[in-house]
């Protein structure tokens, strides 16, 4: 019941996702085309397959359609001069996409903003941090990395840190992306689901895209908005399955013990087929993956 979005080239992959209305913002389409996924994976043969892939540090890079979905939801807040936080930045792929959306040097510039934008990626696996920087360099973004004086309109910083705490020194952020499932902070009495340590680092206005695991073990993507008055609202938009947002030791233990299975979920309510679980042992079980079949209404 699902369209396949895989392509033979990066452009074809992006165009297939756009053709199925997974991406509706032309700025996001252009940004995704600027970032060649081949530079951010280990298995070059499957670089443009719409499925998660194993990378370094017992981690994975999520399926292209999940990255595209995140960029689409965050796109209203990804403008030249914006500050963005990517929690669990992994391969560095989304950091590159975000960079092109906030850089005034890009052809997708939509305003004459003079403030320098910044993308901050945090990951607790040191080897991933180093590898992601080399990936960004391969993708032509050396000048944007870590304080390079040549980075005139935007920069990218990749840091080794506990993503559960965000990165307060560069906050507040216009947009925050979280690449692993946080534990719901709802105590059963109607409290917020989203991680409040990260919500506090959102600018007013600002938006966060975060997978959250509920008390029953189900996971949903929450879009968390903070308005100009600092009032926070959150909305569950997709059923998903992500690896947990945890510390380095627990992450490695999870993979070694093979506790996480690759799963696909079908949300019967809005007919969205989602694959967002990443597993280094069981990636072979993924059926070349798929895009959502139905059109999705983005806010």
DSSP H helices in the chain: 10-19, 26-34, 64-74, 93-102, 126-138, 196-199, 248-256
The tokens describing 59, both together, are 């981690």
Contacts 24+ apart (CB under 8 A), 129-134: 129/89, 129/158, 129/159, 129/160, 131/55, 131/56, 131/91, 131/92, 132/40, 132/89, 132/90, 132/91, 132/92, 132/95, 132/158, 133/92, 133/158
The vertex-55 CA angle with 286 and 26, nearest 5°, equals: 75
* Side-chain-side CA neighbours of residue 268 (13 Å): 0
Q: What is the pLDDT of residues 14-54, one digit of tens each?
A: 999 999 889 999 999 999 999 999 999 999 999 999 998 88
Half-sphere exposure of 42 (CA within 13 A, CB side): 14
Per-residue confidence band for 198, with pLDDT thresholds at 50, 70 and 90:
very high
Angstrom distance (rounded) from CA 39 to CA 212: 29
Whose structure tokens read 């092109």? 100
Of residues 41 and 106, more confidence is placed in 41
- In DSSP notation, 174-200 reads EEEEE-SBEEP---SSS---S-HHHHT
User: 218-246 pLDDT, tens per residue?
Assistant: 999 999 999 999 999 999 999 998 888 87
Q: Tell whether pTM > 0.75.
A: yes
What count of other Cβ atoms lies within 10 Å of the Cβ of residue 188?
7
Catalytic residue among 6, 51, 54, 62: 62
Query: Of all helices (H) and strands (E), which one includes residue 299?
Result: none
* Mean per-residue pLDDT, 94-110: 79
Instruction: Check whether 127 has a pLDDT greater than 60.
Output: yes
Q: Which CATH number fits domain 10-285: 3.40.630.30, 3.40.50.150, 3.20.20.80, 3.20.10.10?
A: 3.40.50.150
In the annotation, is 62 catalytic?
yes
Return the minimum-mean-pLDDT range out of 176-190, 235-249, 279-293: 279-293
């Amino acid at each position: 019941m699902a369209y396949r979005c895989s392509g033979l080239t990066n452009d074809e992959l992006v165009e297939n996702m756009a053709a199925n209305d997974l991406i509706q913002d032309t700025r996001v389409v252009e940004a995704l085309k600027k970032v060649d996924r081949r530079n951010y994976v280990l298995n070059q043969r499957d670089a443009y397959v719409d499925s998660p892939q194993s990378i370094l540090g017992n981690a994975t890079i999520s399926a292209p359609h999940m990255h595209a979905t995140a960029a689409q939801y965050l796109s209203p807040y990804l403008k030249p001069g914006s500050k963005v936080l990517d929690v669990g930045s992994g391969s560095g792929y989304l950091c590159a996409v975000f960079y092109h959306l906030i850089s005034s040097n890009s052809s997708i510039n939509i305003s004459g903003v003079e403030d320098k934008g910044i993308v901050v990626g945090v990951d607790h696996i040191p080897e991933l941090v180093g590898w992601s920087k080399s990936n960004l360099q391969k993708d032509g973004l050396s000048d944007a990395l870590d304080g390079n004086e040549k980075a005139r309109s935007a920069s990218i910083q990749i840091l080794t840190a506990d993503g559960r705490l965000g990165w307060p020194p560069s906050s507040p952020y216009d947009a925050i992306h979280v690449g692993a499932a946080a534990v719901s902070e709802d105590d059963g009495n109607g409290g917020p689901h989203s991680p409040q340590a990260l919500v506090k680092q959102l600018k007013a206005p600002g938006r966060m895209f975060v997978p959250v695991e509920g008390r029953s073990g189900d996971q949903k993507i929450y879009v968390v908005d903070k308005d100009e008055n600092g009032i926070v609202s959150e909305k569950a938009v997709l059923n998903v399955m992500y690896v947990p947002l945890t510390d380095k030791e627990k992450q490695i233990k999870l993979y070694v013990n093979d506790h996480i299975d690759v799963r696909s979920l079908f949300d019967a309510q809005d007919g969205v087929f989602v694959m967002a679980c990443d597993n280094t042992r069981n990636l072979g079980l993924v059926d070349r993956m798929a895009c959502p079949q139905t059109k999705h209404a983005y806010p």
